[in-house]
Every structure is written in C-alpha cells, then in structure tokens.
Structure 1
Amino acid sequence: MTETPPILEGDGLHTHIGSSHILHGVSLRVERGEVVCLLGRNGMGKTTTLRTLLGLLRPTHGAVRVNGQIMTGAAPKAIVRQGIAVVPEGRGVFPNLTVRENLVMGARPGQDGRRDWTQERVLDTFPRLAERINSLGDRLSGGEQQMVSIGRALMTNPDLLIMDEATEGLAPLIRKEIWAVIRTVRESGIAALLVDKNVKDLLAFSDRAMVMVKGRIVMEGAAAEMARNEAALTRHLSL
C-alpha cells in the first residue's frame, strides 16, 4: 500500500536574499488534514520560509515538494494550483474591487472537484461581508479586509491553507472571529500552515508546532506538549 505523501514539504532549505543567508537547512512538512504553526520572533525567517515554499523565493539548496512532486523553482502559480491557498501578510485585497468581486475572482473547484466553499458559505461565515458586499476593498476596515482575504482563499476549495500573520493588528473581537473560522477550516479537513504572533492561540489550534531562531528550526513537536514547555517558549520567543 502506497503511503500518501505530505501536501507540502520543505527539505533542507537554504535561502539567500541578496548577500544575506536567511534560511539554514529548514525542513518541515504538512500532512493532509493537519494544522501546523510556525513560531518565532520578528526577523527569524518565518515569512521567508513561506515564500520559499510557495516559489516566491528560490532556495539556494534543498527541495520543495507538493503532494510528493518536486516543485523546487516552480512558478508560484504552478504550486498553488496543486491545492494550496494563501492568505498573505498584508491581506492582498484589491482596493478597486468590491467585496463580491474580490471573492468571486478566487472561485474554483478543488483538486477533486469539491465546491464546498461557495460565495454563499463565505458570506454565512462572515455576515459582516454580506453587509459590505458592494463596498470597495479600500473602504473596508482591517478586520473586514482579512475576512475577504480568508474568504477568497477558501473559495479556491484548497487542500492546504497558508496564513501569514492571520490576526496581526486586529481588535480582540475580530481576532476571536478569525480563530473561529480557522477552527471551522480545521474541522472541515483542510490542512493549514499558520504564522501569527498570538502564540497561545496558535498552539491551541495546531496539531504540531515549530520554533524558528535565526533561520533554523530549533524546536518541534506536538503543539499541546510545546504549550506546556513555558521555559523553552520563553527562551526562544521571549514570552
């Protein structure tokens, strides 16, 4: 019986930006239906790791695999077409398009033809967006823009959702709403790779966690166990 490969895998990744050596042998994987979080202080290489996995940066050494297929150096569009959706840092909402237009432009069936996430389901999940459906992107609050970004990603019916700084800069009530949606995503069987500064929330929602320090994975394990290791988290994250 053939073992199902991870949805996304990085193996021994080294990445340079200009003359700066940012990633030093980073290896990680995300299995089907699994939620993984990447922790670390600012500037430790989390976003560079995501950008390398997504083909936005090419590693100088190491390999990227999607569903077991080598995708090192592939164009980002080729990678995301393998069932990956991205909610980027900064949200990426088109300012001159309405909420409806921002959502619809991402609509497509999943790899297996699934259409679980429709515009109607997104609006049911984010009632605030239904109220703002004809509003332009640049007229939305930060929280509303993040809802649009998540909704648009879900409308690709992905196997894996990558979120960079999922709740950064959002009010506590909006953060709570975003985490509730992430819980729904997890329960639906969609895998997730999450980066966020709210460490306790991340660990509570994740199956596995990894800690990055200066471009290296220095700690990895079950999220629940890591949450109990406060001394190590304090040492690496200055909690």
Structure 2
Amino acid sequence: MRLFLLIGQSNMAGRGPLEEPDVNAEPEKNIYKLDDNGGWLNAKEPVHNDKPKLVGVGPGLTFARTVLGTLSGEKIGLIPCAVGGTKIERWVPGGDLYERAVARARLALESGQLSGILWAQGESDSELAADAAVYKDRLFSLITSLRKELDAEEVPFVAAKLGGFIRPEEYPYTGQINGALESAATVFDRFFLAASAGLIHKGDYLHYNAASAKELGRRMAEGWLNLQ
C-alpha cells in the first residue's frame, strides 16, 4: 500500500462544507485512512477528525483518487494528522504535532511504504511578524527532520501556497509565508509547491470551499506525479 502523510492545519484537514455527493458517498474501495485508534478504514469525506464539529472536505481524498487513477492494482493509505488553527512551532521536532505525525507514520509503515508527504499550513503564522520571521527556518527544519526520521530522503514533499483570498489586514504576512514555501521549492529536491491561484474560499476569506479543496488536491496530485 502506498502511504501519504497529511500534515498542516485546517485547509489540509478540510473545512469545505459537506454536501452531496460527499455526504452519502460510499467509502472508497482502494483508498484507506488511518483512524484515531491506529486501524485502517475505507476512506470517505471527511478524512480528518481534528475538530469534529468543523471538519469537512479537504484535499486529501481527491489527491488520493487522482493518484490512484494513474496506478494499476494498487491501494493508497492516507495518514491524516492535520489540526486546524496550529502554528508551525508545533510541527517542528519536539513539537507535539510533529511527534504525533511521526508516531502515526511509523505505525502506518507496518502496512506499506511512504510515498509522499503533503503539507498545507501557514495561515496561523501569517498574523504576527515574529512568527513569520522564523517560518522559513522552521519549515526547513520540518522537511529535513521528517524525511530523516522516516527514512524518506527521496520521498516527494508536496506543499500548497496560502490562498490568495486571505485578507491582508487580518493576516499581513501571508506573502512572507508564501515566500518561504517558494524558497523551499528551490532548496529541496523532490519538492513541489501547488499554486492556489483561482481557488475560492467558503465565505470566510480563510478556508477553501469544497470544490476548491478538491481542486487543490488535484493540483497536489499532479505535482506528486510530476516528481515520479
């Protein structure tokens, strides 16, 4: 089984409104997700369960469907670890969410091989200058350490730019965060940065609506495929 680690904050976890056809869709036959108890379930929306009252459609399942469509006779396992409203300080070595992601990934590795790491995060670090100033160093630490700990030096790392609809008066350092992500794309091998141009928020100028979350998943999948 090909495994994909999903990390970041709410736009990775998914906040797109759950509507038809996702609400009553049958679980996927060849796409699985690691549940909170460490077991495998056939995946359907929502993939994450970080905040049960808020969680919705994210990019992960569409990413998996897109990738699976190019493979023959394979299965995909998603390892959902994203948590809404989190700063990158919790995703660097020693941070609680970093350690949890590593532990869940290692558990999942008993069932397959790690084929990709997906990252969508940065909104929470774009509010304050102090957070934005250290974002690039923390991002580089995350990428380097995660690949090393999971013996994944050659595993593709696919990140997403922050949405272009974010209000600068509320998140004034969005450009600096996107700049750090762009810098990572020039420094690290097998790194792809998915564009957010044209994607639409769900009315809050912060979270993707369901259609845009799915489109982001497709873009991230295309980036992963280009790294093969």
Interval containing the TM-score (normalised by the shorter chain): 0.3 to 0.5
Provide the TM-score with structure 1 as the length reference.
Answer: 0.31
Provide the TM-score with structure 2 as the length reference.
Answer: 0.32
Compare the two structures and name the one with the higher strand fraction. Answer: 1
Q: Higher Cα Rg: structure 1 or 2?
A: 1
